[in-house]
Structure 1
Amino acid sequence: MDRVRDQRRRIEAEARPGESYNEASARLRQEKAGAAPSTIRRPPKSDQQIDLFMPALYDVGTKDSRSIMDVAVFRLSKKEKRAGEVIRYDLPDGHVEVSSGPAGMASVWDYDLVLMAVSHLTEAMNRYRDGKGEKPGRVFRPHVGDVLKFCRRADGGKQKDDLVATCIRLNTTHVAMQRTKKAKNGRTVTISEGEALISRYKIITNENGKPEYIEIELAEWMFREIVEGKNPEVLTVHPDYFLIDPGIGRFVYRLARRAAGKTHAKWAFQTIYERSGSSGTLKKFSFTLRKLIEANDMPEYTLSEEKGQIGPVLVMQYRSASIGTAEEEIIGS
């Protein structure tokens, strides 16, 4: 009896945030049997006391921004800075170009700061629409400690200093979009627009020279989509998104959240590779995708592979949903 109780305590202690006892038990058995290493990093110690009043994370989900969320408007590599590079995505209704300055292209981890700002803006607009607060502006000014806690990072000196470089990269990474659509009068028009991921930033340091507050101004199009829409569409992102370690893993989760939602979606490996902006080969990218499938610890979604007409296909299925028997469209196949 004591042995069973001790085993249960061990599994409960090893469980990840949001993971049930049975899920944790199955994962630990797989790891012991030599299964693929986890793609989810351990949460920081500051997670032990989660702030229940911290607003949930939201992502922009309007029609105009859907194509942007289906491509990587940031680099997915931790090592490659990609300074001075341009990534172009050709889409059915136009194209997107992401270009970077000498400080390097903003990374998917840098983008966490934007997600936090979008989350708080969405919450503030919800309160405003309910008559419980003032209409928010584009400027977001959080304490550095709150940023690290929201993004589930350790509260250390290096992490605080890194946020300065994050702001610089976000401010010097430019996203240019060109899309063709039908106007109200029925004519076909092409719209070209571009903006940095954040319009400006300011760092406030304390007497010891350490960053204490960050002030950023959201890109105008992000602000407009949340504030001007009567019923802006937002997608809740799982808190464990911040614990996904590989950049490709983060991109796949965002794609699944956008394309699969509460059901499922199928995308060709080739298309995911092209939308990721990866500088490596398709072969290497496919190897990483299969590691994600093997680990199978993505928040909310189960990943699997099946054969397609032009190559392998990634199946992204919401964990509580079941795939029907009807024939479905495979993106990129």
Structure 2
Amino acid sequence: MAHRSLLPDRHRQLDFFVCDIIDTAPKDDLGSMEHPLFTLAKNPDTRIRLYEHNGNTVKIVPSVLGLATIFDKDILIYCVSQLTEAINRKRDVSRTVRLTAYDFLVATNRDTGGRSYQLLEQAFQRLTGTKIFTNIVVGGRRFREGFGLIESYRIIEKSPNHARMVAVEVTLSEWLFQAVCSQEVLTLHRDYFRLGKGLERRLYELARKHCGSQPQWKVGLALLHKKSGSSSSLKEFRRMARNICEADHLPGYLLSFDEPSDSVLFQCRSERAQARAAIRQFLDL
């Protein structure tokens, strides 16, 4: 009598996915690009925040260590980038990923000295401690749930003198993992990691999200203030927005402040360059 073979394992779960793809393009999930889940401040922020817009509600609750910052988000961007590239290459992926600390620091344009490894561990602590309560749609389904920005992390190796971590296993939230599997991500410019101010990074995210299918996006300052998640007053936010417009170093986008309407215009730099070329050609006729 022939022995029956085992049925196929249709839902095989890997122990972890190894972040080992070199030179991946940075990827960000649409949900956190649209909604202000991270504090822009570098100092500890322990305020509970509530964001409501177009039927979406997000409540962000910090741990005693404070809210996860937009710079802590680099960890999620790195994981999302690796997972997205692996999916594109038809590789198996898992919600738990293993990353090499040094590779992460290099990929996100950070210093690789000993202090950076200490700061990295603090970022993991804030990401784990910050809780999100939301009804945002992900993968075509509306979730009403609470979760950590990452479910857990584990430092699995240290250097011989225990001065720095070498590798880390991170379990992403189901919410973020579903966004990746549903391809709800956008590619970021590599110079995103060179932006040193939290508001610059947040405005770049909003520009990338809203100028993806149109050459420009004009938004009132009050709404931009709300969408940015900035804790500053509207008057102070207006001053900071003007300074960013004048500095003009957001990768891929040109920002201009419109005084009469108290609004900010975001334009794709390529579109702006094409417009200038057309004007020059017209004047040369």
TM tier, smaller: 0.7 to 0.9
Q: Does 1:214 align with 2:168?
A: yes
Q: Aligned AA for 2:51?
A: Y
Partner of 1:126: 88
Q: CA deviation at 1:109?
A: 0.5
Percentage identity across aligned positions?
30
Partner of 1:56: 25
Query: In structure 1, what is the Cα distance between the partners aligned to 2:200 and 2:60?
Result: 20
Contact 2:72 2:123 in 1 (8 A): yes
Partner of 2:280: none
- What SS class does the counterpart of residue 58 from structure 2 fall into? strand
Question: Equivalent of 1:316, from 238, 260, 266?
Answer: 266
Partner of 1:245: 196
Q: CA deviation at 1:191?
A: 4.6
Query: In structure 2, what is the Cα distance between the partners aligned to 1:268 and 1:194?
Result: 31
Q: Which runs of 4+ in 1 moved over 4 A?
A: none
Q: How many residues align?
A: 250
CA deviation profile, 1:120-143 (whole Å, cap 9, x unmatched)? 000111111xxxx3x110111111
Question: Equivalent of 2:114, from 149, 157, 162?
Answer: 157
Residues 1:89 and 1:122: Cα distance change in structure 2 (over 3 Å): same
- What SS class does the counterpart of residue 230 from structure 2 fall into? coil
Residues 1:192 and 1:233: Cα distance change in structure 2 (over 3 Å): closer
Q: Aligned AA for 2:128?
A: N
Q: Aligned AA for 1:166?
A: A
Contact 2:74 2:108 in 1 (8 A): yes
Partner of 2:12: none
Q: Does 1:302 align with 2:254?
A: yes
Q: Aligned AA for 2:219?
A: W
Which consecutive residues of structure 1, in runs of 5 or more, have no partner in the other structure?
A: 1-51, 185-189, 325-333
Contact 1:74 1:107 in 2 (8 A): yes
Which consecutive residues of structure 2, in runs of 5 or more, have no partner in the other structure?
A: 1-20, 276-285
Query: In structure 1, what is the Cα distance between the partners aligned to 2:199 and 2:180?
Result: 27
Return the TM-score normalized by structure 1: 0.71
Taking the TM superposition and a 5 Å limit, the aligned residue runs for 1:1-333 are 53-61=22-30, 65=31, 68-79=32-43, 81-83=44-46, 85-128=47-90, 133=91, 135-178=92-135, 191-203=143-155, 204-209=157-162, 210-227=164-181, 229=182, 232-261=183-212, 263-307=215-259, 311-322=261-272
RMSD over equivalenced CA pairs, Å: 2.2
CA deviation profile, 1:16-41 (whole Å, cap 9, x unmatched)? xxxxxxxxxxxxxxxxxxxxxxxxxx
Contact 2:27 2:77 in 1 (8 A): yes
Return the TM-score normalized by structure 2: 0.82
